[in-house]
Amino acid sequence: MASPVVEESGHSSALAPTSAGREARRSAHAPAAHVSDRLDEAAAIPSPPRGDGRIRTGRLAGLSLGAAMWVLSWPIMAQSFLDALLGTVDTAVAARLGVEETDAVGLSTYIMWFTGVITMSVAIGATALISRAVGGGHRSRANDVLGQSMTLAAIIGVLAGVVMALAAPFLGRPVGLDPVASRLMAQYLWPIAASMPAMVVTNVGVACLRGAGESRSPLWIMLVENVINLPLNIILSGVAFHFTLLGREVNWAGVPGVSMGIAGIGIATCVARCVGAGIVLWLLARGDDAMRLHWHRMRPRWASMKRLVNVGLPNLWESLGMWSGNFIIILVIGQVLAAAAGVPGLIGAHQITIRLESFSFLPGFAMGTAAATLMGQYLGAGNAKMAARAALLCTAVAAIVMSIFSYVFIVHPVAMLSLMSDQPMHRELVPDLLRLAGYVQIPFAVLLVLRGGLRGAGDTRMAMILTSIGIFGLRVPGCIIVALLWPERGLYALWLVMVVELTIRAALFTARFLHGGWMRVKV
């Protein structure tokens, strides 16, 4: 059986004696960094012959499709729940502080999403390339992608943090936030800006782990972050709340002398993210049989970065399009609907609905991430049929689970809202928006899984095109029209447009998957 080093180079495993001697002499004089590369390859699990259609290395090697889905999906779903909980805690605590605080955190979510857009382009490229390398048994190639991905993550995180810190005092004005909410948003964003390098490194590192088939470690990382964030959030914000515990009324009025308001919410999140980044770096440096982070692999190399950019750039344009379209909707809410209503709180109500609906995203996102890894690894192993089967099975599971959320949103929206806010304006607006969201959960499941699967297969360019059609061809113009013509219908009309657009976009991604062009994409 050919060794992984020789197999990756494309040469025959039967080297002539003179070739072997030259190879040994080169190895003896190779730099230390190259010696570690050879050790990486020697440590890789021996791989079967090419073209047999099996995943060769990593946690998924030798598993059936159902077992591989389970290994990938349940930790991703749990980790996604904890990830959503991290942002939901910020929004819920802000809602307990007041309407202006809720608006401030709600708008800040879109500012942080912008950084996430750029981060995701690196993460998608890393997932696609690492999953192909691991599926084909190429540990050295996976290590190279990992090192270059983490370098890009560090650069992006630092730049994003600096820009966010400088722009924080001015970001509320274009959206129409009142002066109080704008000032509060800056107080929240400054500690968030300090955490940007940690957040980007964590997200890209987690994407690399998932590409290698490791989905349990990200779960524990997010668990640690939540264990830190929740109590620290409550203590530093000084939020007051009342609840009943074992039949006794409990009144929490905060810790005397520690209350920082909305700034405390940001500081708690910053601390949690820094701890998470430290854990990610430790896990990657420790490594496993699929890949390992070597510091010499982090020296920038254009050839390797170019591959990441080529795969991730279409996703960057796609995600920027999604962000721009949804930020335009925020502008419409702040400048048109809020002006017509004459009161603050619409942005906060919009964001609370998204936060509550985000828990229904979790099975769809988990199955979409599992589909991305499975499709990438099966394509790397030369088995397009199994890649397609994995996508269909992941889609079916997501649709079944998200249909349960559909029932909850339609039948029990008030109970859902009570978990986050007791503000009168939120009680008036959010339940109707949740009911609308309930009607579109199954198409949303199809969209999340097939979009994730196409990205994992490297078909990021077509995903970008389809997303642009939905966002800028339907969602944005539709929302602008209904806001200008019927401002009295408020958020409900905007959400109705978004529900229709999402259903159409799910149909477009289904058509692309059935077309099969993703099977022929080169990465």
Local confidence band at 343 (pLDDT 50, 70, 90 cut-offs) = low
- Identify residue 412 by its one-letter amino acid code: H
Mean model confidence pLDDT for the chain:
78
Q: What's the angle, vertex CA 522, arms to CA 518 and CA 523, rounded to 5?
A: 110
The alpha-helical segments, DSSP class H, found in 136-252 are 139-167, 179-194, 196-211, 216-237
Work out whether the CA dihedral 244, 246, 249, 253 comes out positive or negative.
Answer: negative
Query: 462 or 38: whose pLDDT is higher?
Result: 462
470: nearest Cα among 492, 444, 489, 433: 444
For the ranges 329-338, 339-348, 393-402, the lowest mean pLDDT is seen at 339-348
299, 224 in Cβ contact below 8 A? no
Please list the helix, strand and coil fractions of the chain in percent, rounded to the nearest 5, in that order: 80, 0, 20
User: What residues pair up with 250 in beta bridges, in sequence order?
Assistant: 243
pLDDT score recorded for residue 4: 32
- Cα separation, 402 vs 441, in Å, equals 6
Here the tokens at position 463 are 């995903």
147: nearest Cα among 164, 161, 162, 133: 133
pLDDT tens for 160-198 read 899 899 988 888 777 777 788 888 888 999 999 999 999
Q: What mean pLDDT is predicted for residues 295-302?
A: 78
CA-to-CA dists, residue 174 to 193, 329, 332, angstroms: 20, 13, 11
- Cα separation, 475 vs 435, in Å, equals 19
Residue 266 burial by CB count (10 A; 0-12/13-18/19+): exposed, middle or buried? buried
Query: 131 or 403: whose pLDDT is higher?
Result: 403
How far the first Cα of the chain sits from its last, in Å, is 27
| Max avg pLDDT among 224-238, 250-264, 432-446 | 432-446
pLDDT tens for 124-156 read 788 778 877 777 777 788 888 888 888 888 888
Residue 26 burial by CB count (10 A; 0-12/13-18/19+): exposed, middle or buried? exposed
224, 278 in Cβ contact below 8 A? no
CA-to-CA dists, residue 473 to 334, 476, 513, angstroms: 22, 7, 21
pLDDT score recorded for residue 521: 73
- State the DSSP code for 168: G
- Cα separation, 500 vs 502, in Å, equals 6
pLDDT score recorded for residue 83: 75
Domain ranges of the chain: 65-520
pLDDT score recorded for residue 271: 94
Radius of gyration of the chain (CA): 24
13, 7 in Cβ contact below 8 A? yes
- Cα separation, 146 vs 495, in Å, equals 39
pLDDT score recorded for residue 445: 93
Neighbour count for residue 199 (Cβ, 10 Å): 24
Here the tokens at position 519 are 């099977």
Here the tokens at position 46 are 């021996």
CA-to-CA dists, residue 81 to 134, 146, 362, 406, 459, angstroms: 27, 25, 6, 17, 27
- Cα separation, 458 vs 124, in Å, equals 9
| 243 phi, psi to nearest 5 deg | -155, 170
pLDDT tens for 426-448 read 888 889 999 999 999 999 999 99
355, 420 in Cβ contact below 8 A? yes
